[in-house]
Amino acid sequence: MTNQDLLAIAKEFESPVYVYDAEKIAFQYNRLKNAFSEIEDLRIHYAVKALSNISILKYLNSMGCGLDTVSVQEVMLGLKAGVAPKDIIYTPNGVSLEEIEEVVELGAQINIDNLSILEQFGAKHPEVPVCIRINPHILAGGNAKISVGHVDSKFGISIHQMPLLLRIVENTGMNINGIHMHTGSDILDIEVFLRASEILFDAAKNFKNLSFLDFGSGFKVPYTAGDIETDIEELGEKLTHRFKDFCKDYGRELTLVFEPGKFLVSEAGKFLARVNVIKQTTSTVFAGVDSGFNHLIRPMFYGSHHDIHNISNPEGKQRFYSVVGYICETDTFANNRRIAEITEGDVLAFSNAGAYSFSMASNFNSRYRPAEVLWYNGKAHLIRERETFEDLLRHQVVIDLETITSE
């Protein structure tokens, strides 16, 4: 997509607006596949929580991608998008036994991450195949806010609880068909990830009827030019060799599963916002846009970096701006960032807006959530309409105060 394409999208669909490049999604998907091309049975399950629009799910599924889901609602979205139940993995956290049983009825693969629910489920449904999520207690990412493999994480069953886990499996006679791990996002050190993989391999030796091993994801993507990222090709070479050795020792070929979310869609996304006002204080020049953390919460929530480009004046003189939103809270996207000279009415493009952007958006300050657009085959296709005032009212119930008072 060129700057002119993006400006045309902002004009046609209004700002703010999310735009996703289908070609980039396909590139990332094929890059991961190619890195593990020597694996006989590789399955990639896209993490729906990153971007859950059903058009995106349909597009990924058309390339052979399954889904990684964390709620019964995400499972239902996947089914609505035409994904076969067998191609959906359900890995919830902190949900009720009843929700898990709902998903069983829908036909998805169950992945359980705590001993309490594992025992309850095994006692009631010993015949249903279950994957077990372990916590290897290894952090493969550098940001504590997005690491889930640490010792106090609420995710997964501690590897140190393996004796109790095995006792539950034996007592219930349940069917364990997979072992899963996820260490967190922004993996940089391949060797750390491989050490976590060894823990997964050791855990897998305790189960005789496995059909797959799920290594999660968390691959780091670049957030700015020259930024470091996970070396997928190096990981593919090293993990492929180790996985093949394990399968040989195990006695049969298993399926290798990954669950990328951000890796597939982050770089494909742009978020376009129009500048409402330029405001100068004694020390700062603010560029205030027609959005806020209600549409892009990652900078405030995770401290994440998003490159910001003035696509209305890309060749303009570089100046320093603090880019902020219109929410009645602190909603800073960037502090003292060098950006081509901005004037009111310009359109700014935020990079890496494909993952955890719309999916974490809200109606805070009663603002509408923006439209979503898919750039496919050189054309812009609307895949979610901009919200309206009627959407804000849709599920509200207006009570009659006079009637209530008289009661």
pLDDT digits 0-9 by tens, 81-106: 999 999 999 999 999 999 999 999 99
Average per-residue pLDDT in the chain?
A: 94
| pLDDT tens, position by position, 341-354 | 999 999 999 999 99
Percent over 90 (pLDDT), the chain: 87
**Residues with catalytic roles:** 328
Identity of residue 212: F
3-state SS, residue 210: coil
In sequence order, the 6+-apart residues with CB closer than 8 A to the CB of 83 are 57, 61, 66, 67
> Does 295 lie in the same domain as 342?
yes
Average pLDDT for residues 365-389, to the nearest whole number? 98
For residues 254-258, give the mean pLDDT. Answer: 97
Q: What is the pLDDT of residue 150?
A: 47
| Per-position DSSP letters for 319-372, written without gaps between them | EEEEEE-SSSS--EEEEEEEEE---TT-EEEESS-SSSSGGG---GGGPPPPEE
Domain shared by 65 and 108, yes or no? yes
pLDDT category at 149 given cuts 50, 70, 90 is very low
pLDDT band at 148 (very low <50, low <70, confident <90, very high): very low
Closest CA to 258 of 181, 147, 194, 327: 181
In the prediction, which pLDDT does 184 show?
67
Share of the chain above pLDDT 70, in %: 96
Residue 185 has pLDDT above 90, yes or no: no
Is 198 assigned a ligand-binding role in the annotation?
A: no
> Which one-letter amino acid corresponds to residue 234?
E
Is 302 annotated among the ligand-binding residues?
yes
Domain edge (last residue) among 240, 260, 280: 260
**Would you place residue 143 in the very low, low, confident or very high pLDDT band (cuts 50, 70, 90)?**
very low
CA 174 vs. chain centroid, Å, equals 30
- Mark whether 306 and 354 lie in a shared domain: yes
Arithmetic mean of pLDDT, 47-68: 98
Residue finishing a domain among 199, 228, 260: 260
Rounded Cα distance, 89 and 75, in Å: 8
Is residue 127 marked as binding? no
Question: Lowest-confidence range among 176-185, 352-361, 369-378?
Answer: 176-185
pLDDT band at 362 (very low <50, low <70, confident <90, very high): very high
DSSP SS3 for 273: strand
For residue 313, pLDDT beyond 60: yes
Do residues 168 and 214 both lie within one domain? yes
Instruction: Compute the distance between CA of residue 192 and CA of residue 188 in angstroms, rounded to an integer.
Output: 8
Name every residue whose Cβ is closer than 8 Å to that of residue 120 and which is 6 or more positions away in sequence.
97
pLDDT higher than threshold 70 for residue 151: no
Task: Give CA–CA dist 269/20, Å, rounded.
Answer: 4
Answer yes or no: do 278 and 225 share one domain: no
Q: In this predicted structure, what is the pLDDT of residue 152?
A: 67
User: Confidence band (pLDDT; 50, 70, 90) for 190?
Assistant: confident
For residues 135 and 228, membership in a common domain is answered with yes
Report the CATH number at residue 273: 2.40.37.10
331 shares its domain with 243: no
Count Cα neighbours of 302 within 13 Å in the Cβ-side half-sphere. 18
- Of 79 and 1, the structure prediction assigns the larger pLDDT to 79
Considering its fold, how many domains does the chain have in total?
A: 2
Instruction: Note whether residue 117 is domain-resident.
Output: yes
From 260, 279, 300, give the residue that closes a domain: 260
Whether residues 369 and 245 fall in one domain: no
Q: Flag whether pLDDT at 186 surpasses 80.
A: no
pLDDT, position 137: 87
Asked if pLDDT for residue 407 goes beyond 80, the answer is no
Confidence (pLDDT) at 34: 97
- Which domain, by its residues, includes 44? 36-260
Average pLDDT over residues 239-268: 97
CA distance readout (Å), 224 to 71, 228, 245, 304, 352: 32, 9, 37, 11, 9
- The DSSP letter of residue 313 is S
Instruction: Say yes or no: 88 and 196 in one domain.
Output: yes
Residues 250 and 285 in one domain: no
For residue 14, tell me if it sits in a domain.
no
Pairwise CA distance, residues 48 & 75, whole Å:
9
Q: Answer yes or no: are the C-beta atoms of 103 and 75 closer than 8 Å.
A: yes
Residue 219 in this model has a pLDDT that exceeds 70: yes
What is the structure's pLDDT at 283?
92
Q: Assess if residue 18 is contained within a domain.
A: no
* Assigned domain for 289 exists: yes
Dump pLDDT digits (tens) for 324-343.
Answer: 999 999 999 999 999 999 99
DSSP 8-state symbol, 108: P
For tokens 């260490």, what's the residue?
Answer: 183
The reply to whether 399 falls in a domain is: no
Asked whether residue 244 falls in the same domain as residue 275, the answer is: no
223 annotated binding-site participant: no
- The CATH number assigned to the domain holding 189 equals 3.20.20.10
Average pLDDT over residues 78-82: 98
Res 128 pLDDT > 60: yes
Tokens 């976590």, residue located: 196
Same domain, 252 and 307: no
Nearest by Cα to 180 from 146, 152, 217, 150: 217
The model carries a pTM of: 0.93
Q: Is 267 annotated as a binding residue?
A: no
